[in-house]
């Protein structure tokens, strides 16, 4: 159930719905300059990143699709999963498909109620959510497959876990879109994976490439705010300390950020400290 104590949108410039939509507009305009007719964001990103997917978007609603062998989404899903062995993923039973479809619809309804402006940006920029099971993973999003999210849901996911995973992947998508349009990092992933660029991840709590750990910090703050809106104080609280440690490590290596990246990072720090200060009085007697 949604907690009505806080029903505002997520904080931060990078997740501002107007900024996300403005970035989507710029991608559409760029596609048109390349003689790629684009009446929607999916048209534009499809022409730029998904020439192997001919499927058109028939509505403004994000569509859930289940991976099938020889599916047109196969190559994209393989990249999203980081695995070429898609044959290993068994077709889900009809009962499980129905359960997943119902939970997904429920999570989107919760999303639209809790974060209406962010949800509008989600609906415009995410055309398809592809379900493909991979043990140990909840889902994924990558920079060269925008407009798509992969989810690997467990039958045990609660409603809170469903919306958390959907928002988690959308944050990644927003950052990839931001980086595409305005640039965040001074170097590519190969350079940012080198030893001197590694930083502590806020989610996995291990050293990862600078770009991945920065992404984790944005995701972590979004989840903290989301879970506070849902009234889940324990889930929100458990993420704060790792997030602070992550930000501290990232702050020593801001040479890997562009001016825009540094501005977004500064904004992230300020919003994290604001949320931490709000959490402190709530947790004194927990």
pLDDT at 2: 41
- For 234-255, b/e burial (b = at least 16 CB within 10 A) is ebbbebbebbbebbebbeebee
pLDDT at 1: 39
pLDDT at 131: 93
The CA distance from 105 to 64, in Å, is 9
Strand, coil or helix: 74: helix
pLDDT at 132: 87
Per-residue CA distances from 63 to 85, 104, 252 (Å): 24, 10, 41
Pairing of strands 63-66, 207-208: unpaired
pLDDT at 85: 66
pLDDT at 90: 58
pLDDT at 35: 85
pLDDT at 81: 87
Pairing of strands 207-208, 139-140: unpaired
For every one of its 286 residues, what pLDDT tens digit does the chain have, with 9 covering 90 and above? 344 334 489 999 999 999 999 999 999 999 999 888 788 999 999 999 999 999 998 888 999 999 887 789 989 998 998 876 665 565 678 899 999 999 999 999 999 999 999 999 999 999 999 998 887 889 999 999 999 999 999 889 999 999 999 999 999 999 999 999 999 999 999 999 999 999 999 999 999 999 999 999 999 999 999 999 999 999 999 999 999 999 999 999 999 999 999 999 999 999 999 999 988 887 655 4
> What is the DSSP code string of 107-131?
HHHHHHHH-HHHHHHHHHH--EEEE
pLDDT at 31: 94
pLDDT at 118: 98
The CA distance from 105 to 262, in Å, is 37
pLDDT at 82: 84
pLDDT at 3: 43
């Amino acid at each position: 159930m949604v907690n009505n104590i806080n029903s505002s949108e997520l904080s931060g410039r990078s997740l501002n719905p107007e900024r996300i939509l403005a970035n989507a507009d710029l991608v559409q305009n760029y596609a048109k300059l390349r003689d790629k007719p684009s009446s929607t964001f999916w048209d534009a990103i499809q022409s730029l990143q998904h020439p192997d997917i001919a499927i058109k978007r028939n509505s403004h609603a994000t569509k859930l699709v289940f991976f099938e062998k020889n599916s047109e989404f196969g190559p994209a899903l393989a990249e999203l999963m980081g695995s070429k062995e898609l044959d290993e993923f068994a077709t889900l039973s009809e009962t499980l498909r129905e359960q997943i479809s119902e939970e997904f619809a429920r999570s989107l309804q919760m999303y639209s109620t809790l974060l209406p402006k962010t949800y509008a940006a989600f609906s415009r920029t995410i055309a398809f959510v592809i379900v493909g099971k991979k043990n140990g993973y909840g889902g994924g999003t990558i920079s060269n497959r925008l407009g798509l999210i992969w989810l690997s849901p467990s039958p045990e996911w609660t409603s809170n876990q469903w919306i958390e995973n959907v928002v988690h992947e959308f944050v990644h998508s927003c950052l990839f879109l931001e980086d595409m349009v305005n640039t965040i990092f001074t170097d590519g992933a190969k350079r940012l994976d080198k030893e001197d660029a590694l930083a502590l991840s806020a989610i996995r709590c291990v050293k990862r490439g600078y770009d991945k750990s920065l992404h984790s910090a944005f995701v972590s703050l979004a989840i903290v705010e989301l879970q506070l809106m849902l009234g889940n104080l324990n889930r929100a609280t458990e993420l704060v300390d790792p997030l602070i440690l992550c930000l501290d490590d990232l702050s020593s290596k801001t040479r890997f950020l562009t001016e825009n990246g540094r501005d977004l990072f500064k904004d992230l720090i300020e919003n994290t400290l604001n949320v931490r200060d709000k959490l402190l009085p709530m947790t004194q007697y927990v």
